[in-house]
Structure 1
Amino acid sequence: MRIGKQMQFFGARANLAKTLLYAINGGVDEIKKVQVAPPLSPITSDVLDYDEVMQKFDIMMDWLADLYINTLNVIHYMHDKYSYERSEMALHDTHILRTMATGIAGLSVAADSLSAIKYANVHVQRDEDGITTGFTIDGDFPKYGNNDDRVDAIAVDLVERFMKKLKKTETYRESVHTLSILTITSNVVYGKKTGSTPDGRLRGEAFAPGANPMHGRDSKGALASLSSVAKLPYRDALDGISNTFSIVPQALGKDDGSRTSNLDAMLDGYSVKGGHHININVFNRETLIDAMDHPEKYPQLTIRVSGYAVNFIKLTREQQLEVLHRTFHKSI
């Protein structure tokens, strides 16, 4: 952002994984059991059909994108009306570029869920009210984070598709629509508020942070994981595509020199492939476990969470456990 020439209306993020569940349940919230989105005929088949799900998901994303932008318009209009940042804006040019920052949460959950529906058989579990609350998967399916275009293309499509829908709604003060795939630590909260999903994730489980593959699913090594994330179109996510990447020291080499050169090469390759934003952690899971049990021994243990660095011992227990459940790559 150019100092004095640009400003941003911040807008948090939208939960695409929960939106998918709304599409399956006809707009009914799977946890609260109330109609939240506009009524839509729910899916009633025992096995989810990919084309039917995508048709309803697309409609639900239309509703969400319009609601999202209009909500931000109201928020920022009222903020300017009652709490305009006069001092800050006095230091800007008269005519500046304004952006309306939006975001996506649950990208890898949504992509893997659609992949499961498309390539495996996803059976629906419903409660006594007919609301879908769980799924069982028969067969295997490609998972985002393994450099497999079958599912990576789904993730790319979701980013492009949602951005196009956001742009259909006019923004406050003619600000430019922008998008991020960045959750900070809110991936834990988003997961807590989202029911079981067709990818096998259970109700309440944390999402992967930012643009990360879901925990443990990027099983083909560090380079395959990086390659999947690098495919996401930066032109549609100019506010950042956050990849929080963890690798054990032994995977990078036997000594500091080889580890440094190998990590340099990996980052060069990630950049060449189109990757822009990566948070790197090089440590062993055992170190974090020991820090949880003996925090007094690790007052300066700093890790990248998702977009920022933090002392590990200052995270909540729930946030620490979520970090532990992430993939720690043991091979390149």
Structure 2
Amino acid sequence: MSNEHVERRLAAILAADVAGSCRLIGIDEEGTLAQLKALSKTLFDPKIAEHHGRIVKNTGDGALVEFASVVDAIRCADEIQRSMAEQNTDVPQDRRIEFRIGIHVGDIIIADDDIFGDGVNIAVRLEGIAEPGGVSISDDAHRQVRGKIGIDYDDMGPQVLKNIADPMRVWRVRTGPSFSPAKLTKPPIETALPLALPDKPSIAVLPFTNMSGDPEQDYFADGMVDDIITALSRFKALFVIARNSSFTYKGRAVDVKQIGRKLGVRYVLEGSVRKAANRVRITGQLVDAATGAHLWADRFDGGLGDVFDLQDQVTESVVGAIAPALEKAEIERAKRKPTESLDAYAIYLRGLARFYQLLAGK
């Protein structure tokens, strides 16, 4: 074991990145790079300095910043996102430069003027799940700032972060303008209402995230989702949201609870696809849209020698895995439902649960 001293300290870490940078550079390489350089000089760097942050390193289209105070980190992020929103007011959606920001407070390791450790990794993963123009913070960060600054937060519930062992509770910073009745452009009666849940289990399969860094692989991820939707639609006892509806969330950071309300579903299936050389890894997770709880998750590895065979294998595995998970979740839901409001389907599930108990000899 090495006796070399390792320098550690508690710090607030801000990770920032430009959403869709590859697409923007593809549209206008020189113009995008010039804009990023200008934003760094006129907005990002001055705000970091104003709030006593230290830019540890720039990552091309993003940055890693250390703060002594998480209050300073969140104030800085909020001001950056508000300024960017103002600058983007008259810019077409497909040409907007929008930052995603993640913030965590934790123990870090300092070496050669760089920082490492879980505190850094978590901040980077939080940035990855933030919506364009948004800020995601950890529960640890939220506890430190709660009630200290005039900023509101939305509870995103437990989230599975890449390479982080346990799900972490995440909060979304409300960076938009404060509500004012004068800003309403439509009467309140025209506000979209949540869709009513159908009588049978309902699910939306969201577009899988392409983690390969290669836009050409989008076809593979989209094809996987199409196959899963088709396979799930064969279950007569299952209500499946059409592709056109679920694909409106492609490329967007999502709030599963909000999707459940908007699409009128109890469950959401989301996942990702990552390609490296001739291998591909596909992950999937089933989430209860009402609670945000994860009901099932798995990953699948295979070769790209025959894309369609791999798609069939993954689709069969996903459908075979989530069907029992859905049934189990519906059984638990029926058992919690007051007896005076049980519908015929819930009664069936309660009977099914009792049947399984008898088979098990309980």
The structure richer in strand per residue is 2
Q: Which has the higher contact order (CA 8 A, sep 6+)?
A: 1
What is the TM-score with the length of structure 1 in the denominator? 0.31
What is the TM-score with the length of structure 2 in the denominator? 0.29
